[in-house]
Every structure is written in C-alpha cells, then in structure tokens.
Amino acid sequence: QKEVEQNSGPLSVPEGAIASLNCTYSDRGSQSFFWYRQYSGKSPELIMFIYSNGDKEDGRFTAQLNKASQYVSLLIRDSQPSDSATYLCAVNMKGYSTLTFGKGTMLLVSP
C-alpha cells in the first residue's frame, strides 16, 4: 500500500515567521520527492523537488529529506500572506513512473 501522509491543517503562522510543513511516506524505496503549492480553485504548481538526503534551498524555500525516517519537510522562511495555500507532498516510489500525493496541508499566513 503506497501512502503519503500529511497533516491537513490548517497551519496558521504570522507574516514573517517560518512555516514548517511535514510529510511521511510508507515506501522505504521511494526515490524522488516533490512539493506542490495549490491555491484554491487552481492547479498544483511545482515549487521544490529533492532526491538526496539533506537540505535543498531555493530562495525562501528549503526542502529537507531524511530517508531513514521516511520523512520530508518544507520550510518557508519569511512567510507572506501570498503563501497561503494548500501544500501537496508527492513521492515517486521505486518501480513506479507515477507520483503518490498526500492530501495536502493548508497554510494560512496572517498579516
């Protein structure tokens, strides 16, 4: 059973704070990990991907991967109200060409 778990939220943070979004996955052989942002009524937009253990930074976003713990996270620094959206974690599991999505975490950034 392929599973990707996320806390549905909402996660509420004040403007300027660090938002931390978490995701766990069931398949130890998973190889690729993606974070998508989805605004209400819109399609998912890719914001980060990570393949190796450790941190990957892109602007205000940092993805963190710990394969031993089967855990991937997304940190958003200096959160802005425009970051308010649902963040979807997606995992490419070994032997599959497709992605398994979590249900997403809703982030609310208050001014």
Partner 1 sequence: DAMVIQNPRYQVTQFGKPVTLSCSQTLNHNVMYWYQQKSSQAPKLLFHYYDKDFNNEADTPDNFQSRRPNTSFCFLDIRSPGLGDAAMYLCATSRDSGEQFFGPGTRLTVL
Q: Which residues pair with 108 in a beta bridge?
A: 12
Among 104, 105, 107, 109, binds partner 1 (CB under 8 A): 104
61 part of the interface to partner 1, by CB under 8 A: no
61 vs 96, beta carbon nearer partner 1: 96
- Is 39 or 55 the residue whose CB approaches partner 1 more closely? 39
Between 79 and 104, CB nearer to partner 1: 104
Secondary structure, 3-state, the chain: CCCEECCCCCEEEECCCCEEEEEEECCCCCCEEEEEEECCCCCCEEEEEECCCEEEEECCEEEEEECCCCEEEEEECCCCHHHCEEEEEEEECCCCCCEEECCCEEEEEEC
* Residue number, 79 or 92, with CB nearest to partner 1: 92
**Site membership for partner 1, residue 101 (CB under 8 A):** yes
**Residues 6-25 as x/- pattern, contact with partner 1 by CB under 8 A:** --x-----------------
Q: For partner 1, which residue of 32, 56, 71, 108 counts as binding (CB under 8 A)?
A: 32
Whole-angstrom Cα distance, residue 13 to residue 17? 6
